[in-house]
């Protein structure tokens, strides 16, 4: 093993979008590990760092040379004789005595061991690094040296590649690798000499904090210092902090303020402007109210003359002025007067305008309100107004406030609480992490809106496939599932899907020439089946990934065909609990056995004739089953699945005994059918809660 040397690769790139830096470092690590593996190199400890202007890879110790290897070269079979051996030896530059004999399944062969000298690692790197760099995948790459040239996220402007103290020479996109780094755009030198021990220190002297953790800490410490004794509390925002860590090479917070008059505007507007548009942190005062201050993060050391604070304050004031202008102007026309204008706003190019959408949502929300015994007039009103804020100046400018603004305007314009709140939160839940709407009308409007999108898109064949889902339909379906389950809305979703599909079908037949009705053999719309299947897929995803139920638990419960998602959750919960009891697993195995027996016998239906029961195990199972199922029927009245499953578990001894003593396939067909009916009745009853035979048990042998 030769001596090892530290290795450093720094890619100097024009400002990389902040959100791509961390994934790119991950890809670099993967690619470098692959490179090391291919060339049998052990790189020592690896470190990856990134700023907007550089991606850095450091390996603690790469050998100067690859280790030498011995390779066995196979020759002719021994049976070929001395002549062949001599020829083989000569070809390999050895004497016949140096040949060895290798035993293989095909017989004995001559062979010779050849030593392969390890290559210079510097040379390996010089050859492999350009390809490694080019292979880093980017969401949207560009070329800059001319058509057909290298592509990367932004132009590469310098490359440092140093093994030990000297350069690993290569060229990529016209840039030759070297040993000089560059500092901060405005605070550093363009020719920084360094060695492996003082790299970070030299960069820092030149205005670059290489480590993201240190940049984060500098921001946090700086904020603490700025807020000390001011009676202000930062409203934490980790994703904004992440953005700023990767938008800067030398972050420094500054504290600015704005005219408290603007606090009269809705807080949602102020914080959207500050956080989303200006990337400022917002603050609360001692009483928990929004404070007329903001924290901005500069990409430099200090704002000595206060120009940066002043500039940011000026920009914010202009933005708030705009917002106030929009707020006032938007009030001049009520949402209710804007309903007809929805015809002028595109919902989706193929589907048409928000006017059509609104009508669909209205019909849908009324159906859901009906199913839940809510006031359909309030639901309809909320649906009628919910998209009208798209035409307000405020939402045109601050699109992320869609819905929220509608709610705020509706409130000011005197709409009932149920209505404005529903509008306010009907885009929720925006993601798996966000909360579902808090109000009943908000929940049903959110569901109706999303269900309408599914209906329209599916009807026109715009169904997500693979990773492609440009219209966010999976997210919409996921939102429906999450809202129903976490909002605890008890309803027959299957029926709602059917009714929605039927209505879409009627409407599209009337107004669209590009739509054809398509019904399955059972008369049901294929559209309804497709939407239901799509939702079920999200149901599985939700309970597995978010609620951590096991795959087979879901399969067991869904096999029972439930149509109420809250009910599905109760069953899953009960099943998960009961599953941990001692009796359960053998019982599940027994049910699997029942299923197989029934399947083989082709059993469809039948009732038990008690007169034909054999005394002992068979009679015992019949009595036990009768007793247990009677109890289950009572428990199910109150949807007590836990008690139901527990009492079913108590069947285990009787079931075991039955299978021990009784031959189902009795010679007398009447007895046999009676036994099948006994098992079939029990199996069907239990499977209407959860199909135990779906449960994967350690004794499962299928």
Partner 1 sequence: MDSYQETIFKLKRFWAKHGCVIQEPYDIEVGAGTMCPETFLRVLGPKPYSVAYVQPSRRPADGRYGENPNRLYKHSQLQVILKPAPANVLDLYLESLEAIGIKLDQHDLKFEEDNWESPTLGAWGIGWQVMMDGQEITQFTYFQQCGGVDLDLVPAELTYGLERLIGFLQDRKSVYDIEWVAGTTYRDVRFRDEQQFSVYNFEKADVGMLWKLFDLHEAESQRLIDEFRGLDPEKDAHEKKRFPLLSAYDHVLNCSHTFNLLDARGAISVTERVGVIARVRKLAVGVATSWVDQQNLLNAVEVAQ
452: nearest Cα among 352, 552, 312, 306: 352
Return the residue of 187, 460, 559, 563 that touches partner 1, per CB under 8 A: 187
Q: According to the binding rule CB under 8 A, does residue 672 interact with partner 1?
A: no
CB of 134 to partner 1, least distance (A): 17
Q: According to the binding rule CB under 8 A, does residue 314 interact with partner 1?
A: yes
CB of 309 to partner 1, least distance (A): 8
Q: Is 92 helix (H, G, I), strand (E, B) or coil?
A: coil
Q: According to the binding rule CB under 8 A, does residue 466 interact with partner 1?
A: no
Region near partner 1 per CB under 8 A, out of 95-103, 339-347, 672-680, 692-700: 339-347
Q: According to the binding rule CB under 8 A, does residue 414 interact with partner 1?
A: no
Return the residue of 64, 144, 216, 688 that touches partner 1, per CB under 8 A: 144
Q: According to the binding rule CB under 8 A, does residue 17 interact with partner 1?
A: yes
Q: According to the binding rule CB under 8 A, does residue 85 interact with partner 1?
A: no
Locate 294 and state its tokens: 């903001």
Q: According to the binding rule CB under 8 A, does residue 317 interact with partner 1?
A: yes
194: nearest Cα among 29, 58, 52: 58
CB of 542 to partner 1, least distance (A): 33
**Residue whose CB is less far from partner 1, 129 or 316:** 316
**Separation in Å, CA 435 to CA 275, 411, 417, 483:** 20, 22, 20, 9
Return the residue of 45, 117, 307, 548 that touches partner 1, per CB under 8 A: 307
Q: According to the binding rule CB under 8 A, does residue 296 interact with partner 1?
A: yes
Return the residue of 106, 115, 228, 304 that touches partner 1, per CB under 8 A: 304
**Residue whose CB is less far from partner 1, 157 or 593:** 157
CB of 254 to partner 1, least distance (A): 8
Interatomic CA distance for residues 203 and 184, integer angstroms: 8
C-alpha 663 chain-centroid distance? 51
Interatomic CA distance for residues 702 and 695, integer angstroms: 12
Q: According to the binding rule CB under 8 A, does residue 248 interact with partner 1?
A: yes
Locate 29 and state its tokens: 């690590």
Locate 20 and state its tokens: 């791509």
Q: According to the binding rule CB under 8 A, does residue 647 interact with partner 1?
A: no
Q: According to the binding rule CB under 8 A, does residue 316 interact with partner 1?
A: yes
Region near partner 1 per CB under 8 A, out of 182-190, 379-387, 532-540, 644-652: 182-190
**Residue whose CB is less far from partner 1, 47 or 216:** 216
Locate 695 and state its tokens: 């449960």
Q: According to the binding rule CB under 8 A, does residue 298 interact with partner 1?
A: yes
Q: Is 280 helix (H, G, I), strand (E, B) or coil?
A: coil
Interatomic CA distance for residues 64 and 118, integer angstroms: 10
Q: Is 293 helix (H, G, I), strand (E, B) or coil?
A: strand
Return the residue of 62, 203, 300, 597 that touches partner 1, per CB under 8 A: 300
Q: According to the binding rule CB under 8 A, does residue 186 interact with partner 1?
A: yes
Which DSSP category does 231 fall into? Answer: T
Q: Which residues contact 206 (CB under 8 A, 6 or more apart)?
A: 182, 183, 184, 187, 188, 189, 192
Q: According to the binding rule CB under 8 A, does residue 191 interact with partner 1?
A: no
CB of 245 to partner 1, least distance (A): 13
> Does residue 366 contact residue 503 with C-beta atoms inside 8 Å?
no
Q: Is 305 helix (H, G, I), strand (E, B) or coil?
A: coil
> Does residue 349 contact residue 514 with C-beta atoms inside 8 Å?
no
402: nearest Cα among 433, 425, 435, 436: 425
DSSP secondary structure, 69-86, as one string: EEEEEEEEEGGG-HHHHH
Region near partner 1 per CB under 8 A, out of 13-21, 81-89, 522-530, 647-655: 13-21
- Angle, to 10 degrees, between the axis of helix 212-227 and the axis of helix 238-245? 120
CB of 144 to partner 1, least distance (A): 5
**Residue whose CB is less far from partner 1, 349 or 521:** 349
DSSP secondary structure, 155-187, as one string: -EEEEEEEETTEE---EETTEEEES-B---TTT
> Does residue 677 contact residue 606 with C-beta atoms inside 8 Å?
yes
Burial class (CB in 10 A: 0-12, 13-18, 19+), 659: middle
Region near partner 1 per CB under 8 A, out of 11-19, 225-233, 526-534, 671-679: 11-19
CB of 54 to partner 1, least distance (A): 14
Q: According to the binding rule CB under 8 A, does residue 209 interact with partner 1?
A: no
**Residue whose CB is less far from partner 1, 350 or 599:** 350
**Separation in Å, CA 570 to CA 230, 450, 573:** 50, 25, 5
Return the residue of 46, 60, 84, 308 that touches partner 1, per CB under 8 A: 308
**Residue whose CB is less far from partner 1, 223 or 671:** 223
Region near partner 1 per CB under 8 A, out of 10-18, 25-33, 603-611, 636-644: 10-18
Locate 74 and state its tokens: 């196979």
CB of 311 to partner 1, least distance (A): 3
CB of 209 to partner 1, least distance (A): 15
CB of 297 to partner 1, least distance (A): 9
CB of 273 to partner 1, least distance (A): 11
Q: According to the binding rule CB under 8 A, does residue 470 interact with partner 1?
A: no
**Residue whose CB is less far from partner 1, 172 or 589:** 172
Task: Give the burial string for 478-502 (b: 16+ CB within 10 Å, else e).
Answer: bbbbbbbbbbebebebbebbbbbbe
Binding pattern for the stretch 157-176 against partner 1, x by CB under 8 A and - elsewhere: x-------------------
- What number of chain residues touch partner 1 (CB under 8 A)? 49
Return the residue of 344, 431, 699, 700 that touches partner 1, per CB under 8 A: 344
Q: According to the binding rule CB under 8 A, does residue 271 interact with partner 1?
A: no
Region near partner 1 per CB under 8 A, out of 160-168, 301-309, 487-495, 621-629: 301-309
**H helix or E strand, kind and range, residue 151:** strand 151-152
**Residue whose CB is less far from partner 1, 227 or 315:** 315
Return the residue of 198, 321, 699, 700 that touches partner 1, per CB under 8 A: 321
Interatomic CA distance for residues 565 and 496, integer angstroms: 12
In three-state form (DSSP H/G/I as H, E/B as E, the rest C), the secondary structure along 542-598 is: HHHHHCCCCHHHHHHHHHCCCCCHHHHHHHHHHHHHHHCCCCHHHHHHHHHHHHHHH
Q: Is 49 helix (H, G, I), strand (E, B) or coil?
A: strand
Beta bridge partners of 101: 110
Strands 175-178 and 156-163: parallel
Q: According to the binding rule CB under 8 A, does residue 315 interact with partner 1?
A: yes
DSSP secondary structure, 649-702, as one string: HTTHHHHHHHHHH--SS-SSHHHHHHHHHHHHHHHHHHHTT--GGGS--TT---
Region near partner 1 per CB under 8 A, out of 143-151, 410-418, 548-556, 572-580: 143-151
Region near partner 1 per CB under 8 A, out of 227-235, 300-308, 648-656, 666-674: 300-308
Return the residue of 299, 392, 453, 644 that touches partner 1, per CB under 8 A: 299
- Stretch 348-407 residues interacting with partner 1 (CB under 8 A): 349, 352-353
Q: Which residues are at the interface with partner 1 (CB under 8 A)?
A: 14-15, 17-18, 52, 140, 142-147, 154-155, 157, 185-187, 247-248, 278, 280, 296, 298-300, 303-305, 307-308, 310-312, 314-318, 321-322, 325, 343-346, 349, 352-353
């Amino acid at each position: 093993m030769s001596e090892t040397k530290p290795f450093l690769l720094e890619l100097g790139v024009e400002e990389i979008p902040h959100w791509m830096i961390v994934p790119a470092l991950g890809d670099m690590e993967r690619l470098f590990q692959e490179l090391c593996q291919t060339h049998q190199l052990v790189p020592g400890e690896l470190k990856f760092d990134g700023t907007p202007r550089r991606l850095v890879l450091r390996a603690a110790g790469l050998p100067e040379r690859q280790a030498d290897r011995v390779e066995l070269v196979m020759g002719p079979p021994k049976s070929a004789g001395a002549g062949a051996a001599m020829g083989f030896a000569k070809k390999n530059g050895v004497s016949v005595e140096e040949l060895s004999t290798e035993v293989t399944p095909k017989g004995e062969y001559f062979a010779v061991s050849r030593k392969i000298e390890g290559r210079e690692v510097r040379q390996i790197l010089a050859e492999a690094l350009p390809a490694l760099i080019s292979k880093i995948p980017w969401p949207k790459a560009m070329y800059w040296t001319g058509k057909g040239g290298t592509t990367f996220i932004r132009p590469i402007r310098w490359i440092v590649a140093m093994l030990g103290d000297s350069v690993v020479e290569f060229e990529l996109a016209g840039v030759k690798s070297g040993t000089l780094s560059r500092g901060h755009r405005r605070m550093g030198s363009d020719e920084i000499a360094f060695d492996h021990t003082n790299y970070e220190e030299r960069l820092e002297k030149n205005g670059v904090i290489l480590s993201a953790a240190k940049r984060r800490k500098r921001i946090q410490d700086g904020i603490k210092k700025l807020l000390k004794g001011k009676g202000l509390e930062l409203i934490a925002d980790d994703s904004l902090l992440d953005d700023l860590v990767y938008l800067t090479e030398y972050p420094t917070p500054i504290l600015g303020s704005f005219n408290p008059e603007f606090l009269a505007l809705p807080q949602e507007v102020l914080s959207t402007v500050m956080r989303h548009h200006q990337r400022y942190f917002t603050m609360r005062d001692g009483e928990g109210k929004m404070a007329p201050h903001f924290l901005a993060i500069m990409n430099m050391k200090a704002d000595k003359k206060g120009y940066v604070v002043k500039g940011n304050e000026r920009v914010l004031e202009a933005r708030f002025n705009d917002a106030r202008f929009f707020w006032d102007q938007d009030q001049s026309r009520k949402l209710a007067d804007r309903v007809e204008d929805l015809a002028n706003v595109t919902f989706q190019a193929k589907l048409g305008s928000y006017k059509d959408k609104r009508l669909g949502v209205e019909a849908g929300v009324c159906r859901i309100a009906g199913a839940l015994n809510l006031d359909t007039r309030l639901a309809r009103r909320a649906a009628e107004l919910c998209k009208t804020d798209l035409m307000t100046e405020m939402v045109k400018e601050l699109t992320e406030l869609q819905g929220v603004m509608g709610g705020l305007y509706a409130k000011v314009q005197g709409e009932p609480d149920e209505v404005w709140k529903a509008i306010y939160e009907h885009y929720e839940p925006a993601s798996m992490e966000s909360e579902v709407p808090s109000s009943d009308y908000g929940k049903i409007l959110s569901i109706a809106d999303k269900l309408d999108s599914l209906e329209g898109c599916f009807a026109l064949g715009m169904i997500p496939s693979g990773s492609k889902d440009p219209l966010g339909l999976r997210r919409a379906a996921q939102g429906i599932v999450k809202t129903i389950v976490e909002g605890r809305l008890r309803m027959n979703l299957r029926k709602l899907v059917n009714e929605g599909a039927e209505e879409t079908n009627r409407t599209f037949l009337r107004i669209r020439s590009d739509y054809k009705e398509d019904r399955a053999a059972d008369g049901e719309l294929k559209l309804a089946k497709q939407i239901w299947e799509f939702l079920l897929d999200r149901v599985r995803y939700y309970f597995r990934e978010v609620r951590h139920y096991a795959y087979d638990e879901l399969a067991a419960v869904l096999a029972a065909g439930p149509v109420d998602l809250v009910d599905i959750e109760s069953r899953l919960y009960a099943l998960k609990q009961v599953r941990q009891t001692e009796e359960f697993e053998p019982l599940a195995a027994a049910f699997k056995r029942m299923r197989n027996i029934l399947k083989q016998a082709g059993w469809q239906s039948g009732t038990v004739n008690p007169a034909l029961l054999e005394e002992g195990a068979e009679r015992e199972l019949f009595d036990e089953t009768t007793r247990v199922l009677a109890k289950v029927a009572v428990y199910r009245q109150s949807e007590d699945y836990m008690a139901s499953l527990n009492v079913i578990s108590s069947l285990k001894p009787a079931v075991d005994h039955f299978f021990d003593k009784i031959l189902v396939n009795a010679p007398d067909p009447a007895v046999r059918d009676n036994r099948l009916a006994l098992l079939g009745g029990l199996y069907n009853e239990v499977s209407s809660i959860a199909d135990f035979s779906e449960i994967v048990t350690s004794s499962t042998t299928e």
